[in-house]
Structure 1
Amino acid sequence: MSVSERPGGRSARVREAVFAATLSGLSERGYASLTVEDVAERAGVHKTTIYRRWGTLAQLVAEAVVDLSETTVPVPDTGALESDLHEMARSIVALVTSESGRAIVAALFSDAVRTPEVAAIKREFYAGRYALADVVVQRAVGRGEIQQNVSAADLLAAIAAPIYYRLLVADLPVDRAVADRAAAAALVAARAGVLNA
């Protein structure tokens, strides 16, 4: 089942419970210690439900991570690139400082080095993020705010890099002010042609 499919009724409740259990397990145990059995017990479902719907633990984690990101970091449409970038940056900060977001960061950035499945999840996660950033870029191009050849991936990196640097390298707090500075710098870079593909 793709992340874009949103089942209703009991199916939606099971999906929500399993995703919540997955993120909770990641937060408490990390990817390397997470099991389908653990997720099933936390979610109150049988493990065959998980295998039938997601196939593997890696696929389940990937979909849970992407789902959280899609619901927590939506594509902004404020009518202006500047405010779109501020919304994106603030959403990233809100995600990485939430309990579930910290679990994602822990899984994607610590276990990825030694776990090929997590590296694949990380690639899938960022591929989705780049696609969403491209929507913001194309709207801005249509409004004449930036050139057509601005790289959505580089624009997103320009926003996210200062946030992740503070969080993962410098071990400094991230907040709305950090988000706003990152967005402002990314906007200047995009308008100056620094992020052109």
Structure 2
Amino acid sequence: MGEVSSTATGQQPSGNLLDDLDSILGMPAPVVAAPTVAAVEKREEKTADPFSGLGLGSLGFSMSSSGMKKPAQGGGLVDVFSTGAQVRTITVYSNPDVRVDFAVSSKSNGVDITASFHSHQRVLSDFVLEAAVPKYLKLTLQPATSPVVQPDTVVTQKLTVTQASEPAKPIMMKLRIRYVLDGMPVEELTT
């Protein structure tokens, strides 16, 4: 047998490998509705916001694909890339046992984060925060100030996320939180 070209089947390559395989096998091309303007705008907004994966949009800033700061919609007036940048704090995870807050300050090629761990009423031992980022980002984690989170005390940990490649891409992070509560190991995952 020889190769089947797209012109022999009367179809042009779509750029989608599965559609092209369907056409080679003589299967009809799937009917796909064109995305609505709202869906395209939402997708563009999501990919333009580097903090969309962390839920940090409420901080009042985002980075464009060039890595330059652009004001967030809704009146973010503070230039977080300036030397007088404010630190914004948000809760990234909370359950009945523990709350994790991120104090985020932006820099020219990423963000500095101070994670704060709060126990609501019980002692959490062997506490560990692990984070993962895509390959285009570089993550540096410092050790936590203590492996034990006592009620009404705060344990902190420093994280730095920087762009490892150009052009700048969205900052996304997955977190794994592990601790021992009343002798039972607990593991929580969040994005």
Fold equivalence (TM over 0.5): no
> Which structure is higher in RCO with an 8 Å CA cutoff and minimum separation 6?
1
> TM-score scaled to structure 1, two decimals?
0.27
> TM-score scaled to structure 2, two decimals?
0.27
User: Which protein is bigger by CA-based radius of gyration?
Assistant: 2
Q: Which has the higher strand share?
A: 2
